[in-house]
Amino acid sequence: METRFLGKSGLKISVLSFGTMTFGGSDFFQEIGATQVDEAQHLIDICLDAGVNIFDTADVYSNGLSEEILGKALGKRRSDVIIATKAYGRMGKGANDTGLSRYHLIRACEDSLRRLTLFCHSRQRKNRNKGY
């Protein structure tokens, strides 16, 4: 698989990515697909064997279920891939549950990390130093 640098980030990503809009299949996304963890693991295996190392998802895909399935399906292989997610879409009924405000984006990132079963190292270090 051909790879390219992602801007000036230093990250090398495959020229092809794998989209996970079909993972989950709840609400509106049921019409698009309903891929569950077992099938997702198989698809991810195919991608990794072919050299794909970037996976695209979004918090709004099946109300976060797509991210949960991707996290479970990747398991320990998480360190082998780049995950790109989106955070603009509405994830609740509140006034700040959508958009590009700092408040919404921080909450969306934290929620995505939780759903993907990942965690933020820098935040844990900060909290550890503060005693909580």
- Catalytic machinery residues: 61
Residues 34, 130: Cα–Cα separation, whole Å: 43
Residue keyed to tokens 């050299």: 51
- Classify burial at 34, counting beta carbons within 10 Å of its beta carbon; exposed 0-12, middle 13-18, buried 19 or more: middle
Q: Give the DSSP letter of residue 23.
A: B
